[in-house]
């Protein structure tokens, strides 16, 4: 091609190029060390997917109460070059020896804590396979580079924070039941002092094996043998085949539209995307600007109530049960739900058919990443309860999840989050348990918003409120700090943060028949936005906890 033609072509492409490439990269995560680890990898030439591996692995080390290589998660990817989105499903699976009555005694009653504490509570981890998959299929750097910060922090230690102390105190009894967990995460049976270093040399070793051998370093060989031996000795049911058989699944995300924005969110086995889109579909029928605050909140609550009713009724592992996604996501279905709502009156949940009860916790973790090529990752990872099963197979340093509790243990009996599930989420061998994790993109031609949060069943409503702020054009700080309200069908109450409702609004909601239930602040949202119209990148970390958002050029 002639130089003049090249020049013309370059001139022509320049404006396009400008909007296709953010002026800076951004990472918001629940821990400053994880955000830094992500930037370390971006600065070394990695892309958002390499950074996601670094952030995931670092969170696994420095937030042992929230996620880990003994756990699972969902990584929602936006691959800029192809304008394609995909969800990496690294959710844990039930061991092959699991069965629907695994946690019931001879009388058919749920055995207290059996699905929450100790080896029997642990499902087969998905994080190691997901990190390998991200690197192999989407990253630019070898796993050894992306895992380096995590390996360093596991080996040299990281300082205990206030949040660490809170979480360790909350799970003190469970952690003290397992010698390895207590040795690693407590000091003399107590939460370690602020600033104390937590070193995890065995975990550093497992991460090193993964750096060398990929997922095989975890699911095969010596590590796998130790994991299985440790679990079985402590009363669990894992086999070598469970680990060898684990695979991540690439899934098409759930999609919806709301006021000119495309919503791209987690697919089953998460309930998040479907519930989020259902709520937005319902709300799209109202003109919010014309409504006063209490009416707006009332309608949001009524949408929440209806979406959560459907959640446990219909949703589970898509590889095991048929999910009527098309029906649930259809605008006509939402029209029907909306028609059952009244502006002046709460609908008692008892008058709606179905049965769901959920509750939320304060662990699990979310991060949002944008790189300067416009690639993005929205990822929510979990080991379920704080410090998971509080069980570490000896010689591995791998804290195991208690994600088995996300199954419905017995029809009608609530799990740790108050969840009463249906057939769709019953335990079966190799099945993935239903999740509420809702990593999400909200985008238009002008904007790409990346958001998500931990918080058990309250995750989905947090993402809903964040999405409403984003669609209103507010900055990420507004999404993450917005006072929160939540309704989950049953119990039939509006949970709200202490500062969420003023007196007038309270009274107006009560007058409609709502019961208010004030709760401690919840959630830990991490958000990034790329505003193409103004060529700005912004990020924010939930002020309620101790995360860090950073925006910086990596070029």
Which residues in this chain contact ligand DON in the complex, by CB under 6 A?
A: 360-364, 382, 384, 403, 406, 435-437, 454-456, 459
Element containing residue 349 per DSSP (H, E): none
Closer Cβ to ligand DON, 384 or 461, answer by number: 384
d(CA 171, CA 66): 12
Q: Which of 11, 209, 229 is nearest to 128 (CA)?
A: 209
Closer Cβ to ligand DON, 158 or 417, answer by number: 417
Closer Cβ to ligand DON, 38 or 455, answer by number: 455
Crossing angle for the helix pair 48-62 and 201-213, nearest 10 degrees? 160
d(CA 551, CA 401): 32
Q: How far is CA 549 from CA 375, 442, 456, 541, in A?
A: 17, 19, 22, 5
User: Can you list the positions of beta strands (E) in 234-313?
Assistant: 249-251, 254-258, 261-265
Chain centroid offset of residue 457 CA: 11
Q: Which of 123, 48, 111, 122 is nearest to 81 (CA)?
A: 48
d(CA 171, CA 164): 11
Crossing angle for the helix pair 272-283 and 459-471, nearest 10 degrees? 50
d(CA 496, CA 519): 6
Active site residue 364: yes
Closer Cβ to ligand DON, 372 or 384, answer by number: 384
Q: Which of 452, 510, 481 is nearest to 301 (CA)?
A: 510
Q: Which of 289, 301, 287 is nearest to 342 (CA)?
A: 301
d(CA 513, CA 347): 8
Strands 494-496 and 516-518: parallel
DSSP single-letter state for residue 46: -
Residue 525: both structure tokens together: 């949202």
d(CA 131, CA 284): 37
419: Cβ–Cβ under 8 A, 6 or more apart, which residues? 312, 356, 357, 358, 359, 406, 408, 457
Nearest-approach distance from CB 534 to ligand DON, in angstroms: 33
Q: What is the distance between the terminal CA atoms of the chain, rounded to a whole angstrom? A: 29
Catalytic residue among 364, 380, 467, 505: 364
d(CA 234, CA 117): 11
| Active-site residue set | 364
């Amino acid at each position: 091609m002639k130089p003049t033609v090249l020049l013309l072509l370059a001139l022509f492409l320049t404006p396009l190029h400008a909007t296709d490439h953010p002026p800076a990269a951004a990472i918001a995560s629940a821990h400053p060390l994880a955000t830094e680890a992500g930037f370390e990898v971006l600065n070394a030439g990695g892309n958002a997917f390499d950074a996601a591996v670094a952030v995931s692995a670092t969170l696994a080390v420095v937030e042992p109460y929230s996620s880990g290589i003994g756990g699972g998660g969902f990584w929602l990817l936006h691959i800029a070059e192809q304008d394609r989105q995909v969800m990496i499903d690294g959710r844990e699976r039930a061991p092959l020896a699991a069965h629907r009555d695994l946690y019931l005694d001879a009388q058919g009653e749920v055995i207290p804590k059996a699905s929450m504490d100790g080896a029997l509570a642990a499902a087969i981890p998905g994080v190691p396979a997901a990190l390998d998959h991200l690197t192999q299929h989407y990253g630019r750097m070898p796993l050894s580079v992306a895992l380096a910060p995590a390996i360093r922090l596991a080996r040299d230690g990281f300082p205990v924070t206030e949040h660490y102390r809170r979480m360790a105190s909350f799970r003190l009894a469970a952690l003290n039941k397992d010698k390895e967990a207590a040795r690693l995460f407590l000091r003399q049976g107590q939460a370690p002092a602020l600033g104390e270093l937590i070193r995890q040399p065995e975990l550093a070793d497992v991460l090193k094996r993964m750096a060398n051998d990929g997922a095989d370093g975890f699911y095969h060989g010596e590590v796998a043998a130790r994991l299985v031996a440790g679990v079985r000795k402590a009363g669990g049911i894992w086999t070598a085949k469970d680990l060898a058989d684990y695979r991540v699944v690439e899934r098409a995300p759930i999609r919806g539209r709301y006021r000119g924005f495309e919503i791209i969110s987690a697919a089953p086995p998460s309930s998040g995307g479907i519930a989020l889109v259902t709520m937005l579909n319902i709300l799209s029928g109202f003109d919010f600007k014309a409504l006063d605050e209490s009416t707006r909140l009332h309608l949001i609550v009524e949408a929440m109530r209806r979406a959560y009713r459907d959640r446990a009724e219909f949703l589970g592992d898509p590889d095991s049960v048929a999910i009527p996604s098309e029906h649930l996501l259809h605008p006509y279905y939402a029209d029907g739900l909306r028609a059952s709502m009244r502006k002046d009156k709460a609908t008692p949940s008892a008058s709606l058919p179905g049965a769901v009860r959920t509750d939320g916790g304060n662990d699990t973790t979310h991060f949002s990443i944008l790189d300067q090529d416009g690639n993005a990752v929205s990822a929510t990872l979990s080991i379920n309860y704080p410090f998971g099963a509080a069980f570490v197979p000896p010689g591995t340093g791998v804290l195991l999840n208690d994600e088995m509790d996300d199954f419905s243990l017995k029809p009608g009996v609530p799990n740790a989050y108050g969840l009463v599930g249906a057939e769709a989420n019953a335990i079966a061998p190799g099945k993935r348990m239903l999740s509420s994790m809702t990593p999400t993109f909200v985008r238009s031609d002008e904007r790409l918003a990346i958001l998500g949060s931990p918080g058990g069943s309250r995750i989905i409503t947090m993402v809903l409120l964040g999405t409403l702020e984003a669609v209103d054009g507010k900055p990420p700080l507004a999404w993450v700090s917005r006072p929160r309200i939540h309704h989950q069908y049953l119990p039939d109450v509006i949970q709200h943060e202490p500062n969420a409702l003023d007196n007038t609004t309270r009274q107006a909601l009560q007058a409609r028949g709502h019961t208010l239930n004030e709760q401690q602040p919840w959630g830990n949202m991490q958000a990034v936005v790329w505003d193409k119209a103004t060529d700005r990148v912004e990020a924010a970390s939930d002020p309620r906890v101790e995360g860090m958002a950073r925006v910086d050029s990596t070029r």
